[in-house]
Structure 1
Amino acid sequence: MAPQAQSPVVAGDSGPWRLVGPWYRWARPGLPEDGRLSAPAIQKFAGNDFITDFLARPQHSLRYDPVVDVVQTQDLVKVPGATLRSLLLALNAQGQVAKPGDVAAGLYRPRVAPGSLRKLYQPAHDRHYLVTCSLHCDAPGFPRVKRDQVCQAGFVVRRRRSVVPAGITASDIEAQTAPVRKLEADLMDLRTLDAAVSDPQSSAELKLNTQARQNALAAQAGQPSWSALVQHTLNTLAAQRQALQQWYEQHQITVAVDGWFPVLVNGKPSTTFGQWKALSAAEQQHDITSGEHTYPLYPLVPDPRETSHDAAGRTMYHGLVPTGGLQHDTQARARFDDQATYEIRCFVRQHHACPGRAGKAPDCHGPLVWSRPTEPFRVAAPFDVLGSANRPITIKMPDLRELAAQAALRPKGRLSPVRFVQPQHLSPKIDDGKPIENEVGGEAICSFSIPLITIIALFVLNLFLPIVVFVFNLWFLLVFRFCIPPSVQAAAGLDAALAVTPPGIDLDAEFSVKVNGLDVLVKPDELKNALTKDNGAMELRVQKDTGMDEVPVLDALGNNALGAIDQSLQDAAARQPDAQGHLPEVPPVGEPLVYEEPVTPVWTLRGATA
């Protein structure tokens, strides 16, 4: 897209100011030439006490993961000879769920393609973000500006929109972005194999077999080693992204920036309703008194006795990055959603030479200093799978024996705190097990106990899960339900073979695995027969796990679909109760917390000279 503007400055009594990123996020920590053009940093944290941790150690934040913390798209791979039921999810060339008429044109399967656009998760995902910046005087030595010279500090969140000239069609853009998306998916496949080798829970056989798979892929690509193949893919992807950027610039595909302006209600800005307004290049650095919604920046003031503090001798600010809220436009469209792209710009106001206004904030109309925009980002959806896995929730179902003992307590209704007030009472009538026609009743008040609502809700979920999976052929959804099913096992040799099968391998092709030191060649037909015809072992496990009345017929599913479901059922079946009847520990959920490496400055500030 269009290149970002240079960092704005304003002339003060001691020279121009620059609002830049914190020193520990510069390319070379502390060197003025790297800091002058840096942008404020968005730092990631976990836990409810992240503010306390940040104030003590500002640079101690979570490291961004190249797969988890970016927006993921899907790359479509054509599968020759596939049927509607042979894939986990059969798609057509447009990425839509395939129908019978799409089979002749060919079916596709999706692959995860992590991009380069940053993704910020919700507080409900146990992820929080702070924007941090520092204020300097643009003079030799890049000294800090004294904090008492600043009248006001804050930031704005703006929306970025792509402006496509007439004549550039969606197919033109797809033709340019498809090679990038394919390389991103290829790199994800390589990272998946690396994760299987480095996972401490992987068995020795799985690690050995995965390494063999890596060596075969490197040889197939003409690379001397696995690391060379990964680096070659990274270099090719970087070059392809650069070529895409050049294509954008050549065809004048630019970025427009919008600001959020609250609607005035009785002369005051509304905290709920507002609208996006386009900002010109000059308006992007306008005075905030124009009405654009702002968020506060807070000074980071360390204990003066802590001379080694990251903010010691520096003028730094921080603010909480919003990733949601109740703000909507007048058409009820949320201000923040998972489809729009955003950026942050920080600002500080310099004290005016004239005396300030007593009791006012800000107390003067001094000039503003704007930072460069932060890296663009999107906000994760509330139901994001990767994000919601970071906040595990345990719901203990009621014990029926305890409920039966408590049911005799009086007075009736004391244990039913959830009250429904019904202006019209809708009460069904059942005759011979079938609902019959009924009339709408009058007013009624019904009270329920929370345990009763919980039992019925879980029952309805378990009742409709197999129906939805069966009717819409969404068998892969069973992977997202991890239960301990009855012990119904498939052939021991097959289970062992699939257990040491590396991720990303094509189960519709012959593959060799190593079980207990012995090479095993698994043929597609043998795998299919073992999964579906070996005494119905696979079907029985699916039936027992989902509670279906009849044994499902899975003959039409392909090996890649059957293998993923079978491995998920194996993971659950392996966690059977021990001899004392105790359940094993549940597998870990979410992403591990990995922090940034501590940074030591190569250049130290000495006092404030501006």
Structure 2
Amino acid sequence: MVSAAQAHPWKLVGPWYRWERAALPSSGRQSAPALQKFAGGEFIADFLAQPQRSLKFDPQVDVVSHIGLLPAGVGAGQLKDKLSALFLSQLKTENGKTREVPIKPTDVTAAILKNIYRSRLVPSTLRKLYLPLHDRHYLVVCELHCDVPGFPSVARNEVCQAGFVVRRRQRVVPAHKANQAAALAQAVRVIEAELAELQELAPLRDDLAMKRKAAIAALKQLGQFEAVLAKLEQQRAEAEATMQAFFQQAGIGVRIEGWYPRCQDGKPSKTLGRWQLAEEAAAEGALAGDEHVFPLFPLVPDPREAGHDAAGRTIYYGVVPADALQYEPDGRKRFDDVATYQIQCFVRRHKPGLAKHVGEAKYCCCERVWSAPTEPYRLAASFDSLGCANRPITIKMPDLRELAAQVAARPRGKLSPVRIIQPQQLKPKVSDTSVSGGSLEGAAICFFSIPLITIVALFVLHIFLPIVVLIFQLWFLLLLRFCIPPRIQFGGALDAKLAAQPPSMDFDADFSVAMSNLPAGDVDFDLNGQVLDAAALNARLKTHLIKRMAEDGQLPEAKIALDAFSNNALVPLNQSYEDAKNQPQDPEQAPAGSDFAAGLEYEPRREPEWVLQGGRG
């Protein structure tokens, strides 16, 4: 350790296990604080125990993706497919501005086929951080050293304060250069889209995946794959160089802004503030030191663990804020999913003889040492589908029989805790099963049960999902609904045989199954030695299902009419009854769903490549 009296220069860098060469001083001097990703609510305790053990950043999921346009490469006949029409666009230039215009199948003509593009999700290099509601958490981690030969650690007691600031990055583009800059950026994106198509880097797959794989396999067989890939890489490098040269010539740069709380009653506001440059904040009467600071905490290892990753080192960590109840005066949130941010850490060197500051220490006069900024990042939106998929949610619908029993056992109103106050009532008039009108009536207070609201809401979802899909031709929305079939135990010989048939089987036309190999004694069917064709199967299923429905619904068999149902409708209905009959009664024994933790990959553990005598560096 080096004392403060020697006044060695300090370096605040990334943790040694994230250096290019672990713990090698020459590798760590230019490193920046690291962002580490975690899952689960106990991530801080896990980090303190094993600092290296954090989740890997996925090159497809943990980056911001943009919509890249690729030549559609389709003919007029293929454009009539309703699903593909949603992803087709035409580039139009009007008044010097190029914009993307969606194309409907009915609008396609031979003249515009050459200018049609389809959209493609293309990952970029910009880091993407998910939110706590996505069950993803992030820490910024840094390490303090003396910038002298050997790169020794600084004693923790020499630090007066440690913290970090979150700053916003904004590209400043002159108005008269905006169109040209957008065109150059679009050229780069088109090439990146082609690269993603070739490398299959897009995080979301579509139905053309197998065709793309076949095309890539053909290129590899011809020995052209690497050549095509190298050509695209060269084109992207040239396009990026052209864009950067234009940015430099046009004076297009990056504006780095800090968050400065608004002054209220002589104190910084906890809710209102503004993104500003330090010079602008000072001009408005604020001090540069008034920038909002988040705390960094020392990573103190257990002294009994000699092999701990922080043993003999001065490491600090802080929780990366993904949301904050802070707003600009016009109502915009401090953090959103549009802006790009970066983090910069700092420590203050304690002056001997002065009392140490606690907390933010805004007016501390001790020397402040800054780190390099972290990699830029952007926050995910709250409704991000990839983020929401990280945190499974189970909603159990109310049991109607249980509700009926509860209603019968309680006084009216006891099960309706949701009070809705209506200054005016909008009352629909329902005739048969349709709405025939409505009326505006006076004030009322209504009480509802939460299960009632849930049942109606799910019913409305089932009604409107196909309507929305049909009206707007959004067929891909159906892929966002995934049902896990229950664990099936077949109780009858016929059920077992039907389950063995492929899903594409047409039970009305080509179904024929021999029952001679089935065990005798099937109570319902007595099929030993028989052969069922489609007509015989239909008769057996109707008889069998009428008995089941009558028993389950306490209905007379004469009231159940299944004459209009074909085999293709009766077979799934029969299997559904069999599934329900064999399901476990205890909810704890219900079939398990997908394993949401199966895809978690952790960073590999590293050992230091360079160690000082008696310690880790």
SS at match of 2:82: coil
Asked which structure has the greater CA Rg, the reply is 2
Aligned pair partner of 2:71 in 78, 86, 93? 78
User: What is the TM-score with the length of structure 1 in the denominator?
Assistant: 0.73
Question: Residue 159 of structure 1 contacts residue 341 of structure 1 at CA under 8 Å; is this kept in 2?
Answer: yes
After superposition, where does 1:265-414 map in structure 2 within 5 Å?
A: 265-279=264-278, 290-356=289-355, 362=361, 364-414=364-414
Aligned equivalent of 2:16 = 23
Aligned equivalent of 2:161 = 152
What do residues 583-608 of structure 1 show as CA deviations (whole Å, max 9, x unaligned)? Answer: 97544558811111111111124579
Aligned equivalent of 1:103 = 108
Alpha-carbon offset, residue 370 of structure 1: 0.8
Question: Residue 425 of structure 2 contacts residue 442 of structure 2 at CA under 8 Å; is this kept in 1?
Answer: yes
Alpha-carbon distance in 1 for matches of 2:333, 2:57? 26
Q: Which amino acid aligns with 1:218?
A: K
Alpha-carbon distance in 2 for matches of 1:599, 1:62? 14
Alpha-carbon distance in 1 for matches of 2:315, 2:281? 26
Alpha-carbon offset, residue 437 of structure 1: 4.8
SS at match of 2:439: coil
What do residues 75-101 of structure 1 show as CA deviations (whole Å, max 9, x unaligned)? Answer: 122334224736151333234433578
Alpha-carbon distance in 1 for matches of 2:11, 2:259? 25
After superposition, where does 1:134-283 map in structure 2 within 5 Å?
A: 134-165=143-174, 167-187=176-196, 190-191=199-200, 213-219=215-221, 222-223=224-225, 241=240, 244-279=243-278
Alpha-carbon offset, residue 365 of structure 1: 2.0
Alpha-carbon offset, residue 223 of structure 1: 3.3
Alpha-carbon distance in 2 for matches of 1:123, 1:441? 44
Question: Residue 161 of structure 1 contacts residue 257 of structure 1 at CA under 8 Å; is this kept in 2?
Answer: yes
Alpha-carbon offset, residue 319 of structure 1: 0.2
Q: Which amino acid aligns with 1:110?
A: S
Alpha-carbon distance in 2 for matches of 1:247, 1:69? 30
After superposition, where does 1:43-58 map in structure 2 within 5 Å?
A: 43-58=36-51
Aligned equivalent of 2:131 = 122
SS at match of 1:156: strand
Q: Which amino acid aligns with 1:438?
A: S
What do residues 207-256 of structure 1 show as CA deviations (whole Å, max 9, x unaligned)? Answer: 9x9875542132467137xxx87788667756765665455445432111
Alpha-carbon distance in 1 for matches of 2:278, 2:596? 43
Alpha-carbon offset, residue 265 of structure 1: 2.2
Asked whether 1:91 is paired with 2:76, we answer no
What do residues 517-564 of structure 1 show as CA deviations (whole Å, max 9, x unaligned)? Answer: xxxxxxxxxxxxxxxxxxxxxxxxxxxxxxxxxxxxxxxxxxxxxxxx
Distance 1:246 1:180, change over 3 A: farther
Asked whether 1:599 is paired with 2:610, we answer no
After superposition, where does 1:431-510 map in structure 2 within 5 Å?
A: 434-442=435-443, 444-483=444-483
Alpha-carbon offset, residue 159 of structure 1: 0.3
Aligned equivalent of 1:514 = none
Question: Residue 143 of structure 1 contacts residue 608 of structure 1 at CA under 8 Å; is this kept in 2?
Answer: no
Alpha-carbon distance in 2 for matches of 1:438, 1:577? 43
Taking only aligned residues, the RMSD between alpha carbons, in angstroms, comes to: 3.8
What do residues 320-367 of structure 1 show as CA deviations (whole Å, max 9, x unaligned)? Answer: 001112211111111111110000000111112342278886494211
Alpha-carbon distance in 2 for matches of 1:67, 1:293? 33
Q: Which amino acid aligns with 1:389?
A: A
Alpha-carbon distance in 1 for matches of 2:616, 2:19? 21
Alpha-carbon distance in 2 for matches of 1:585, 1:240? 50
SS at match of 1:74: strand
Alpha-carbon distance in 2 for matches of 1:577, 1:606? 73
Aligned equivalent of 1:524 = none
What do residues 426-466 of structure 1 show as CA deviations (whole Å, max 9, x unaligned)? Answer: 44444675444523312x32221111111111111111111
Alpha-carbon offset, residue 282 of structure 1: 13
Alpha-carbon offset, residue 412 of structure 1: 1.7
Aligned equivalent of 2:121 = 112
Question: Residue 263 of structure 1 contacts residue 270 of structure 1 at CA under 8 Å; is this kept in 2?
Answer: yes
Alpha-carbon distance in 2 for matches of 1:323, 1:24? 25
Alpha-carbon distance in 1 for matches of 2:162, 2:356? 17
Q: Which amino acid aligns with 2:171?
A: S
Alpha-carbon offset, residue 33 of structure 1: 1.6
Asked whether 1:41 is paired with 2:34, we answer yes
Higher mean Cα deviation, 407-416 or 306-315?
A: 407-416
Distance 1:42 1:456, change over 3 A: same
Higher mean Cα deviation, 234-243 or 82-91?
A: 234-243
Instruction: Count the aligned residue pairs.
Output: 504
Distance 1:19 1:606, change over 3 A: farther
Alpha-carbon offset, residue 188 of structure 1: 5.1
Distance 1:23 1:344, change over 3 A: same
Alpha-carbon distance in 2 for matches of 1:451, 1:238? 58
Structure 2: tracts of 5 or more residues without a match: 92-98, 487-498, 507-571, 584-589
SS at match of 1:152: strand
Q: Which amino acid aligns with 2:12?
A: L
Alpha-carbon distance in 1 for matches of 2:108, 2:598? 38
What do residues 304-331 of structure 1 show as CA deviations (whole Å, max 9, x unaligned)? Answer: 1211111110001000001112211111
SS at match of 1:148: helix
Alpha-carbon distance in 2 for matches of 1:609, 1:388? 41
Alpha-carbon distance in 2 for matches of 1:483, 1:127? 25
Distance 1:154 1:360, change over 3 A: closer
Question: Residue 32 of structure 1 contacts residue 141 of structure 1 at CA under 8 Å; is this kept in 2?
Answer: yes
Alpha-carbon distance in 2 for matches of 1:608, 1:249? 47
SS at match of 1:178: helix
Alpha-carbon distance in 1 for matches of 2:9, 2:398? 66
Structure 1: tracts of 5 or more residues without a match: 1-10, 197-205, 494-571
Distance 1:183 1:155, change over 3 A: same
Distance 1:170 1:148, change over 3 A: same
SS at match of 1:408: helix
Distance 1:47 1:605, change over 3 A: farther
Q: Which amino acid aligns with 1:69?
A: D
Q: Which amino acid aligns with 1:141?
A: G
Distance 1:234 1:319, change over 3 A: farther
Alpha-carbon offset, residue 183 of structure 1: 2.7
Alpha-carbon distance in 2 for matches of 1:55, 1:67? 28
Alpha-carbon distance in 1 for matches of 2:326, 2:101? 32
Higher mean Cα deviation, 456-465 or 240-249?
A: 240-249
Q: Which amino acid aligns with 1:597?
A: P
